[in-house]
């Protein structure tokens, strides 16, 4: 399989070289993911040579030949000699065009997603350690706009949208462009909270940043894409134990701009997300603490299509809901609650389940766990060399695929009921 992937990458690179020598591409127009006849679909700044940085992406037919997640990671690394020469602005663009960018949203939080992608992708790791990262981030954050309309029409049954993606190259490319437009602000806001020194800003600068964050949340009111107000910056600041001065500014600003910020510190459209504690029980009757959100949105079709485009060999089981995660789904089957990884580990610690010593599942319904409960799934077919797993990918969709294709790293341990 690795030979096939390497061959596919080599073919793409050779094709690019031939096309560049024969087609005399205009210096201000370069391809992003597409080659040859695909040039008309992407117009980028002349410095953003995506076809050189990422020679194989989900827009290419040969992407489907990749059958393992670790091989995807290998293919999408930026050549080290190029990486160190890129400006921080170029690195930002490269990260936002990363073929596996959707992975940021396949964990319980964006913060957790960025941290995991940083470990997996050299472009993200390099970006976050640049000396001028914070300065460039703040500049880009102030300039980023909330999109008012999507390029594609997603108001169709999902099977029609999936067929459109398969048959229409422009529609397929626009899925990613829409996804990046919709989610860039959340990524930048999470980076601002978690990778910047917020204590260094003056009172005036803090007020300006908070105003900017709330203004961007309010802009969603005039967007056809969003049906709610939300600020990742506000949410993450208010959930931290420190940042007391920032919280004071947020409460003061939001009380003026929004009348009152709700008790979860999320800016929602005329409603509040009420969080209640729910207890479920393991087979050995140990109580497991979970959370139930009154606002538990079904995932959008753009988000679903971007996952399907990135992981074409996975089969969609369900769109899934925003405040349900893999552990709640795998260990209880419920889609209306959230379960922390430490709570999921109780199923092991109270001896309701035990690890299978052979390292392979032996029955349908057994559990698959990545790393130290980074991800949980349900075994659907244990007869294959690479077992088939159904799992919910963070706050994303519910998918069925081989264990090695799931977008999580770390060793896999299989668990069976301890009777």
Are both 260 and 293 inside the same structural domain?
no
Place of tokens 């069925």: 400
First vs last C-alpha separation in the chain: 39
In a domain, 117, yes or no: no
In the predicted structure, residue 124 carries a pLDDT above the cut 50: yes
**286 shares its domain with 394:** yes
Q: Quickly state the pLDDT bin for 222 (edges 50, 70, 90).
A: confident
pLDDT, position 258: 53
Q: Domain for residue 76, yes or no?
A: yes
Q: Both 154 and 261 in a single domain?
A: yes
Both tokens of 234, joined, read 């506000």
Final residue of a structural domain among 80, 101, 122:
101
109 falls within a domain: no
Residue 397 pLDDT > 70, yes or no?
yes
Q: Which of residues 268, 288, 317 is at a domain's end?
A: 268
Does residue 108 fall inside a structural domain? no
In this structure, are 340 and 285 located in the same domain? yes
Helix (H, G, I), strand (E, B) or coil at 381: strand
Q: Average per-residue pLDDT in the chain?
A: 85
Residue 26 shares a structural domain with residue 41 = yes
**Shared domain check, 181 and 155:** yes
Per the DSSP assignment, residues forming a β-bridge with 276 are: 292
Q: Are residues 156 and 177 in the same domain?
A: yes
Alpha-carbon distances of 214 from 149, 210, 352, rounded to whole Å: 20, 6, 46
d(CA 235, CA 333): 28
Higher pLDDT, 315 or 257: 315
What mean pLDDT is predicted for residues 250-275? 56
* Residues 289 and 411 placed together within one structural domain of the fold: yes
**Are 247 and 327 part of one and the same domain?**
no
- Give mean pLDDT, residues 311-323: 96
The model's pLDDT over 147-202, given as tens digits with 9 standing for 90+, comes to 989 999 998 888 899 999 988 999 999 999 999 999 999 999 999 999 999 888 99
Domain assignment present for residue 114? The answer is no
pLDDT at 2 over 60: no
Distance of alpha carbon 302 from alpha carbon 396, whole angstroms? 11
Please return the burial class of 157, using the count of CB atoms within 10 Å of its CB with bins 0-12, 13-18 and 19+: exposed
Do 344 and 410 reside in the same domain of the chain? yes
Task: Give the separation between CA 327 and CA 330, rounded to whole angstroms.
Answer: 5
Give the model's confidence band at 255: pLDDT under 50 very low, under 70 low, under 90 confident, else very high: low
What pLDDT was estimated at residue 257?
54
CA distance 136 to 342: 36
Q: Is there a contact between 126 and 104 (Cβ–Cβ < 8 Å)?
A: no
Q: Is residue 346 part of a domain?
A: yes
Q: Which pLDDT score is estimated for 419?
A: 85
Position 112 in a domain = no
The bridge status of strand 375-381 relative to strand 398-402 is unpaired
Residue numbers of the domain that contains 75: 1-101
According to the model, what pLDDT value does residue 22 have? 33
Collect all residues with Cβ–Cβ distance below 8 Å to 7 and sequence separation of at least 6.
none
Residue 341 to residue 369: CA distance in whole angstroms: 10
| E-strand stretches of 216-323 | 275-281, 287-293, 315-318
pLDDT at residue 143 in the model: 94
Global pTM? 0.84
Do 289 and 160 belong to one domain?
A: no
| CA-only gyration radius of the chain, Å | 22
CA angle at 141 for the pair 118 and 319, rounded to the nearest 5°: 60
Residue 88 reports pLDDT greater than 90: yes
Domain closes at, from 236, 268, 300: 268
What confidence tier does 251 reach under pLDDT thresholds 50, 70, 90? Answer: confident
Write the CA distances from 379 to 30, 331, 363, 364, integer angstroms: 44, 12, 7, 5
Residues 227-246 have a mean pLDDT of 81
The answer to whether residue 119 is domain-embedded is: no
Confidence of residue 384 (pLDDT cuts 50, 70, 90): very high
| CA gap 149, 99 in Å, rounded | 23
Report phi then psi at 219, rounded to 5. -60, -25
Mean pLDDT along residues 221-229: 74
Residue 228, pLDDT score: 62
| Residue of 140 and 219 predicted with greater confidence | 140
Domain count of the fold of the chain: 3
Average pLDDT for 51-77? 94
pLDDT of residue 380: 98
43 has pLDDT over 50: no
> Mean pLDDT across the stretch 58-77?
96
Q: Do 335 and 413 reside in the same domain of the chain?
A: yes
């Amino acid at each position: 399989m690795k030979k096939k992937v390497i061959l596919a990458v080599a073919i793409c690179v050779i094709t690019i070289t031939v096309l560049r020598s024969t087609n005399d591409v205009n210096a201000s127009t370069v391809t992003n993911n597409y080659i040859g006849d695909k040039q008309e679909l992407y117009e980028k700044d002349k410095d953003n040579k995506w076809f050189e940085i990422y020679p194989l992406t989900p827009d290419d037919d040969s992407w489907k030949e990749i059958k393992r997640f670790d091989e995807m990671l290998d293919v999408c690394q930026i050549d080290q000699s190029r990486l160190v020469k890129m400006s921080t602005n170029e690195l930002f663009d490269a990260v936002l065009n990363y073929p596996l960018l959707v992975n940021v949203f396949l964990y319980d939080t964006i913060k957790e997603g960025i941290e995991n992608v940083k470990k997996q992708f050299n472009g993200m790791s390099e970006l976050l350690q640049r000396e001028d990262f914070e300065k460039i981030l703040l500049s880009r954050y102030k300039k980023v706009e909330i999109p008012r309309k999507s390029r594609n029409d997603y108001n169709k049954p999902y099977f029609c949208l999936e067929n459109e993606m398969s048959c229409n190259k422009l529609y397929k490319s626009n899925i990613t462009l829409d996804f990046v437009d919709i989610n860039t602000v959340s990524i930048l806001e999470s980076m601002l909270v978690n990778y910047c020194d917020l204590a260094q800003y003056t009172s005036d600068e803090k007020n300006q940043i908070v105003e900017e964050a709330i203004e961007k949340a309010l802009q969603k009111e005039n967007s056809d894409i969003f049906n709610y107000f939300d600020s990742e910056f506000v949410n993450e600041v208010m959930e931290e134990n420190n940042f007391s001065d920032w919280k004071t500014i947020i409460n003061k600003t939001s009380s003026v701009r929004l009348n009152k910020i709700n008790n979860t510190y999320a800016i929602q459209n005329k409603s509040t997300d009420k969080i209640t504690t729910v207890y479920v029980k393991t087979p050995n009757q140990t109580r497991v603490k979970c959370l139930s959100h009154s606002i538990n949105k079904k995932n959008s079709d753009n988000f679903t299509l971007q996952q399907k485009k990135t992981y074409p060999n996975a089969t969609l089981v369900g769109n899934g809901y925003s405040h349900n995660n893999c552990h709640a789904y795998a260990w209880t089957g419920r889609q209306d609650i959230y379960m922390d990884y430490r709570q999921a580990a109780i199923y092991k610690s109270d001896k309701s389940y035990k690890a299978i010593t052979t390292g392979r599942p032996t029955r349908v319904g057994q559990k698959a766990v990545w790393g130290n409960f980074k991800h949980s799934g349900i075994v659907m077919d244990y007869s294959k060399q690479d077992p088939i797993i159904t799992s919910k990918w963070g706050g994303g969709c519910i998918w069925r695929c081989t264990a090695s294709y799931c977008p999580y790293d770390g060793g896999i341990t299989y668990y069976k009921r301890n009777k």
